[in-house]
Amino acid sequence: MIIFSNSNNIKIRTVIYLGSLFLGVIVGSIIYQILGDSEKLKLVIYSKYLSDNLYMEKVNQFQMLKYVFADKLKEMIILLLCGLTMYREVLYVLYILYLGMKCSVIVCVLTTIVKRKAILYFLSFNMPQIVVYVYIIYYVTYKMDFDRRMNGKTFFHILILVMGYAMLSVFLNPFFLKLL
């Protein structure tokens, strides 16, 4: 069941991945609209609590760094394990669909809170580390599909990238969010 094993099919793979991301955004928006008012209110209250703590710098940055690093490393290990199966392409598409849904729900919550500035807040919340995150996903899926090798050097490279992502999230993001 290797759909994208040929490097000539990278364009097809990109279209499928972008399509699944877009579909995830649509599904996430629909899910948010289906939620009841109490569930939406819980999401809004939780996100306000998180943003207030970030603004007031009440968050222990070292603890947050450990959490973000562990969370993203767990996701990359899951992607690596998915890459070992013969259904890796389908699992990658489902993962990207999930990412689209997650982003969509976040934008919907931000729209509830800050109205027209939601996209600006979303981009501020995710830049510049999203560039690193997209590269990590590309790197992991490429290594597992085309190289089919996972050695210590590759895993160390992934660790460094995930740590860079976590550091950008914890130390640089609050700075950008304070500018809004």
Q: What is the pLDDT of residues 31-60, one digit of tens each?
A: 998 988 888 888 878 777 666 655 545 667
Q: List the one residue out of 2, 1, 22 whose CA is nearest residue 96.
A: 22
pLDDT reported for residue 52: 64
84 three-class SS: coil
The residue behind tokens 């919340």 is: 125
The whole-chain average pLDDT of the chain stands at 82
Q: What is the pLDDT of residues 64-111, one digit of tens each?
A: 889 889 999 999 989 888 888 888 889 999 999 999 999 998 888 888
Question: Which is more confident, 6 or 25?
Answer: 25
pLDDT at 156 over 80: yes
**Residues written for the chain:** 180
pLDDT reported for residue 140: 84
DSSP 8-state class, residue 2: -
Return the domain boundaries, the chain: 9-178
Q: List the one residue out of 16, 43, 49 whose CA is nearest residue 28.
A: 43
Confidence of residue 148 (pLDDT cuts 50, 70, 90): low
pLDDT reported for residue 1: 43
